[in-house]
Structure 1
Amino acid sequence: MSRLELAAARLAKALDDLETVVSPLAKARESAAVAETKIAALDAEREALVARVATLEDEARALSGLTEEVEDRLDGAIAEIRTALSR
């Protein structure tokens, strides 16, 4: 073989080796891009859920206050009924 043929063979092997190394890296980059998209979607969902939980906590506190008020009124009404019945 001539020097040119040897150099061409070495270049072809080097390109094959490079392609072998680059192919998994390209797939990894694609996977990383997909993962980044999913992470962004999950972050957005998480933020929405955190906001929803905060809203539900506020509603629970409001309902707790209303429940106490209703309980006090019922206790008062029951006390009045017992007083009226005992007369």
Structure 2
Amino acid sequence: MSRLELAAERLAKALAALEEAAEPLVKARESAAAAEARIAHLDSERDELVARVAALEEDARSLTGLTEEVEGRLDGAIAEIRAALGR
């Protein structure tokens, strides 16, 4: 074998070893990209849920006020009925 053939063989082996060593890195990069996409999706979903919770909290406050108003009116109506009945 000539020196050139030996050098080509060593180069081929080195390239094969490099490709083998780089394979986990390629997989890790792909995994990281998928994780970043998932994180972005989860961030978006979290923002939507936070907005929904805020809207539900506002609805709850409105309903609380409405409930208090209805309670006051019912108490007043009951008092009027009792007064009319002479109690």
With the length of structure 1 as denominator, give the TM-score of the two structures.
0.90
Residue 72 of structure 1 corresponds to 72
Deviation at 1:25, TM superposition (A): 1.1
Work out the number of aligned pairs and report it. 87
2:65 is the counterpart of 1:61: no
Moved over 3 A (4+): none
The Cα offsets for residues 13-56 of structure 1, whole Å up to 9 and x where unpaired, read as 11111001111111111111111111111111111110111111
SS of the aligned residue for 1:32 comes to: helix
RMSD (Å) for aligned C-alpha atoms: 1.3
Deviation at 1:6, TM superposition (A): 2.3
2:9 is the counterpart of 1:18: no
Q: Percent of aligned positions with the same letter in both sequences? A: 74
Give unpaired runs (5+ residues) of structure 2: none
Counterpart AA for 2:58: D
With the length of structure 2 as denominator, give the TM-score of the two structures.
0.90
Q: Output the CA distance in 1 between the equivalents of 2:86 and 2:20.
A: 96
Q: Output the CA distance in 1 between the equivalents of 2:3 and 2:78.
A: 109
